[in-house]
A and B are shown apart, each in its own frame.
Chain A
């Protein structure tokens, strides 16, 4: 019994799985700081200074470090990465995937955590279209959930234009009834806003691309039927050892 193998965290397993899918499509895994400047987290992403998302209640601001926050999404990687490539003289195409921990300053309950995981994906080239976006999302979700359908709905994010919300439904017959054939809002996506490319030094007249960001806790909860998001950070083996 002492030789029994340990268990992987469900989020780590999802990241491993996602990276495999993306690697096959030519995406590079990128990591980035959790403590981030407001520039990369907001301004560079076309989020105006007076935007409600920057209000005190949503964002953790660092004490005695003006202009520094805990990243509120993985999108901070977009301009960081493209800018560093441009500085090295490497022009698009870019294809990157970047999962990690993000922060929202809110009270926690069964479906809300102040710390959670997101995975984002960015593809920029001369000819990346919204049709490629649909394919890439389908391929990721197909890999994780099998037998899925997705649909786009109009939405708004400052850093994409057009912006869409993506719903998924699982159609496989062995899916638990709670999940089967039900549309579930899963992620936000869109075509990278020209201002974001511009802020990274990439010519928006020549290049275009897509980006999408998905929380990882929710897909993990859906996939394994986990009822409380707080279990993810509970370090409780009664939970962990089931994975």
Chain B
């Protein structure tokens, strides 16, 4: 979520530190920061809110609350600190609400009359645009502002477009084909798909004067399924998906209605709040002993109560915590332990040696792993190199349902096809590898005869074969060597060209150096592949492999290099054969 530094400042009297300090504070005590961007005189942070905090931190107030706790700066302007009571309206309000599904836990409709729709003031446009929201008009902008400010999605309807002549608007929340819909029970008009999108008929336009502001609570799973089915993810649906607290709807209605009045005038004619099962306030307890026992720390009672206080978690004794309504994630003692740990800082957790546990004894040796290690070692000593190939195959007994791209959906029933393919591909690279023979093996899982099993496959010039890996028991693991490689050298993906150079010589030294010098950097491999003596002279034959990292070499340029090598060798006393 995009968070504006200037927006955050509105929650505090004390100044906030520079952007980098805010980034560090959030990174090490709350959330990862994906990026920081300068937008005009503002800094915009892209905060990666974790799924367990989507219900309270996909808004500026949530992030401000976190910063207040982490940096220990009082949150002096907290829109959630007071009561969310709406002013009582007239009893003959032409609006009623009925909830016909448990998937809606609360629905508030506020009627605001006599508004004047127009553009938003500059400060609001700037706020919204800084975090990537588009300014529409003062009414819609007010709803978006409240959502981005406290996390409650709001929706505004034009009442004149849904009301039948002289009658009331009867808002109904009901399930239709598994989807939660907002409809007008009288006129049977669809006002919106709950939590996802409002209906086009009741859109706010320049001529709108009377507005119904919806601040509601819809079930997260239901909204997620609906928005996925409609392939429509909106800012509202993304927040409802998280499962937001129904108490928040009251604050949403209050903040939204006040803001509409401030921006567009009019008067709050009244509200309807249907809230059949009010949210219960949770109390969670944890002891200081338990906190230190889980974290491996030696925190004092004061350090812990201080962390709770900074988070706005009212605690008594040792420790009974009254959880604020918006912290739906705090349910069990371990949740409180995490709160303490991240506010105190994970750097306070020491490294404590994990001593041998006498009751465990010596670990048993895993028979499959032991057998695999032994087989690996034996095959390597015979010159076989290990490969891993894909478990996905053209054929097999079992298949996956939903592979991206769709190719090779089967799980392999043997290692042979993969190894045969690997053998063939590697055989083309024999010269560059400097190998006379390609020898491969794989120890891998296959699915055959209704079983998942581990088998060993080998591939060489005599063929490709496989056999089951037989589990082996042992007292301890063998001390086998690790890879001695230091750094991997990337190889060229361009084709290479091979040339042989053979010559007679009386004394047999020096030729290789000359070849390397004359051939230059395109020579990537040189090997002496033939050597014999005749009439007191020695015949040497070198195989040269040429390759470039940047391009495909031409026959002609390699031929020219060979001619040059032969010429210099000739001048140096080697007789080209």
Q: Are the CB atoms of B429 and A237 closer together than 8 Å? A: yes
Instruction: Determine which of A29, A34, A56, A233 lies in contact with B402 in the assembled complex, contact meaning CB atoms within 8 Å.
Output: A56
A78 in the interface (beta carbon within 8 A) = no
Q: Are the CB atoms of B346 and A153 closer together than 8 Å? A: yes
Chain B residues in 8 Å Cβ range of A52: 51
A186 in the interface (beta carbon within 8 A) = no
**Among B77-85, B126-134, B435-443, the stretch in contact with A:** B435-443
B245 in the interface (beta carbon within 8 A) = no
Q: Are the CB atoms of B491 and A238 closer together than 8 Å? A: yes
Q: Are the CB atoms of B383 and A16 closer together than 8 Å? A: no
Q: In whole Å, how far is A64's beta carbon from the nearest beta carbon of chain B?
A: 8
A12 in the interface (beta carbon within 8 A) = yes
Q: In whole Å, how far is A232's beta carbon from the nearest beta carbon of chain B?
A: 6
**How far, in angstroms, from A165 to B346 measured CA to CA in the complex?**
11
B88 in the interface (beta carbon within 8 A) = no
CB interface residues, B 440-466, toward A, < 8 Å: 440-442, 445, 447, 452
Residues of A in contact, count (CB < 8 Å) = 90
**Among B137-145, B246-254, B347-355, B513-521, the stretch in contact with A:** B347-355
Q: Given A93-B360, A224-B488, A238–B51 Cβ distance below 8 Å? A: no
A43 in the interface (beta carbon within 8 A) = no
CB interface residues, A 14-66, toward B, < 8 Å: 16-17, 19-20, 23, 25-31, 33-35, 50-52, 56-57, 60-63, 65
From B430, which residue of chain A is reached at the shortest CB distance?
A237
Q: In whole Å, how far is B385's beta carbon from the nearest beta carbon of chain A?
A: 4
Q: Are the CB atoms of A7 and B385 closer together than 8 Å? A: yes
Instruction: Determine which of B295, B376, B445 lies in contact with A130 in the assembled complex, contact meaning CB atoms within 8 Å.
Output: B295
Chain A residues in 8 Å Cβ range of B218: none
Q: Given A56-B402, A60-B402, A240–B294 Cβ distance below 8 Å? A: no
Chain A residues in 8 Å Cβ range of B51: 51-52, 156
From A91, which residue of chain B is reached at the shortest CB distance?
B359
A163 in the interface (beta carbon within 8 A) = yes
A6 in the interface (beta carbon within 8 A) = yes
From B438, which residue of chain A is reached at the shortest CB distance?
A237
Q: Given A8-B376, A34-B452, A243-B485, A162–B334 Cβ distance below 8 Å? A: yes
Q: In whole Å, how far is B383's beta carbon from the nearest beta carbon of chain A?
A: 5
Q: In whole Å, how far is B154's beta carbon from the nearest beta carbon of chain A?
A: 24
**How far, in angstroms, from A206 to B225 measured CA to CA in the complex?**
39
Per-residue interface assignment for chain B, residues 365 to 394, with 1 indicating a CB less than 8 Å from any chain A CB and 0 otherwise: 110110001001001111111111111100
A184 in the interface (beta carbon within 8 A) = no
Per-residue interface assignment for chain A, residues 2 to 15, with 1 indicating a CB less than 8 Å from any chain B CB and 0 otherwise: 11111111111100
Q: Are the CB atoms of A26 and B398 closer together than 8 Å? A: no
**Among B25-33, B94-102, B111-119, B569-577, the stretch in contact with A:** B25-33
Residues of B in contact, count (CB < 8 Å) = 103
A241 in the interface (beta carbon within 8 A) = yes
Q: Given A239-B491, A242-B485, A5–B403 Cβ distance below 8 Å? A: no
Chain B residues in 8 Å Cβ range of A63: 398-401, 409
From B377, which residue of chain A is reached at the shortest CB distance?
A8
Chain B residues in 8 Å Cβ range of A165: 32
Q: Are the CB atoms of A1 and B436 closer together than 8 Å? A: yes
Instruction: Determine which of A8, A26, A93, A156 lies in contact with B50 in the assembled complex, contact meaning CB atoms within 8 Å.
Output: A156
Chain A residues in 8 Å Cβ range of B404: 57, 105-107, 114
Instruction: Determine which of B382, B399, B434 lies in contact with A62 in the assembled complex, contact meaning CB atoms within 8 Å.
Output: B399
From A162, which residue of chain B is reached at the shortest CB distance?
B338
**Among B161-169, B177-185, B198-206, B418-426, the stretch in contact with A:** B418-426
Q: Are the CB atoms of B381 and A5 closer together than 8 Å? A: yes
Q: Are the CB atoms of B341 and A30 closer together than 8 Å? A: no
Q: Are the CB atoms of A241 and B356 closer together than 8 Å? A: no
Q: Are the CB atoms of B342 and A162 closer together than 8 Å? A: yes
Q: Are the CB atoms of A123 and B354 closer together than 8 Å? A: yes
**How far, in angstroms, from A62 to B221 measured CA to CA in the complex?**
24
Q: Are the CB atoms of A28 and B363 closer together than 8 Å? A: yes
Q: Are the CB atoms of B351 and A62 closer together than 8 Å? A: no
Per-residue interface assignment for chain B, residues 323 to 357, with 1 indicating a CB less than 8 Å from any chain A CB and 0 otherwise: 00000000010110110011000110111111011
CB interface residues, A 192-243, toward B, < 8 Å: 193-194, 208, 224-227, 232-233, 235-243
Per-residue interface assignment for chain B, residues 470 to 482, with 1 indicating a CB less than 8 Å from any chain A CB and 0 otherwise: 0000000100101
Instruction: Determine which of A34, A93, A224 lies in contact with B487 in the assembled complex, contact meaning CB atoms within 8 Å.
Output: A224
Q: Are the CB atoms of B383 and A3 closer together than 8 Å? A: yes
Q: In whole Å, how far is B326's beta carbon from the nearest beta carbon of chain A?
A: 17
Instruction: Determine which of A8, A16, A27, A60 lies in contact with B400 in the assembled complex, contact meaning CB atoms within 8 Å.
Output: A60
Q: Are the CB atoms of B398 and A35 closer together than 8 Å? A: yes
From A150, which residue of chain B is reached at the shortest CB distance?
B351
Chain A residues in 8 Å Cβ range of B422: 235-236
**How far, in angstroms, from A62 to B351 measured CA to CA in the complex?**
42
Q: Are the CB atoms of A154 and B334 closer together than 8 Å? A: no
A180 in the interface (beta carbon within 8 A) = no
Q: In whole Å, how far is B219's beta carbon from the nearest beta carbon of chain A?
A: 10
A191 in the interface (beta carbon within 8 A) = yes
**How far, in angstroms, from A57 to B435 measured CA to CA in the complex?**
42
Q: In whole Å, how far is B533's beta carbon from the nearest beta carbon of chain A?
A: 21
From A231, which residue of chain B is reached at the shortest CB distance?
B488
Q: Are the CB atoms of B447 and A35 closer together than 8 Å? A: yes
Q: Are the CB atoms of B346 and A161 closer together than 8 Å? A: no
**How far, in angstroms, from A206 to B544 measured CA to CA in the complex?**
69
Q: Are the CB atoms of B385 and A241 closer together than 8 Å? A: yes
Q: Are the CB atoms of B405 and A107 closer together than 8 Å? A: yes
Q: In whole Å, how far is A29's beta carbon from the nearest beta carbon of chain B?
A: 4
A164 in the interface (beta carbon within 8 A) = yes
Q: Given A8-B386, A152-B347, A225–B482 Cβ distance below 8 Å? A: no
**How far, in angstroms, from A56 to B229 measured CA to CA in the complex?**
13
Q: Are the CB atoms of B351 and A6 closer together than 8 Å? A: no
**How far, in angstroms, from A105 to B402 measured CA to CA in the complex?**
8
Q: In whole Å, how far is B281's beta carbon from the nearest beta carbon of chain A?
A: 22
From A27, which residue of chain B is reached at the shortest CB distance?
B363
Q: Are the CB atoms of B366 and A31 closer together than 8 Å? A: yes
Q: Given A130-B349, A156-B52, A161-B338, A16–B480 Cβ distance below 8 Å? A: yes
B432 in the interface (beta carbon within 8 A) = yes
Q: Are the CB atoms of B296 and A17 closer together than 8 Å? A: no
B540 in the interface (beta carbon within 8 A) = no
B91 in the interface (beta carbon within 8 A) = no
**How far, in angstroms, from A19 to B411 measured CA to CA in the complex?**
28
Chain B residues in 8 Å Cβ range of A6: 379-386, 439, 441
**How far, in angstroms, from A5 to B364 measured CA to CA in the complex?**
30
Instruction: Name the residue among A60, A136, A225 with the largest chain B CB count within 10 angstroms.
Output: A60
B490 in the interface (beta carbon within 8 A) = yes
Q: In whole Å, how far is B249's beta carbon from the nearest beta carbon of chain A?
A: 22
Per-residue interface assignment for chain A, residues 130 to 165, with 1 indicating a CB less than 8 Å from any chain B CB and 0 otherwise: 111011101000000000000111111000011111
B433 in the interface (beta carbon within 8 A) = yes
B174 in the interface (beta carbon within 8 A) = no
In addition to A6-B441, A106-B404, A132-B354, 4 A-B residue pairs with Cβ atoms within 8 Å of each other are: A9-B386, A34-B452, A95-B360, A154-B341
11 interchain pairs (CB within 8 A)?
A6-B383, A13-B483, A28-B363, A34-B452, A93-B357, A107-B405, A128-B354, A135-B352, A155-B50, A163-B338, A235-B422
Cβ-closest 3 pairs across A and B: A131-B296, A129-B296, A162-B338
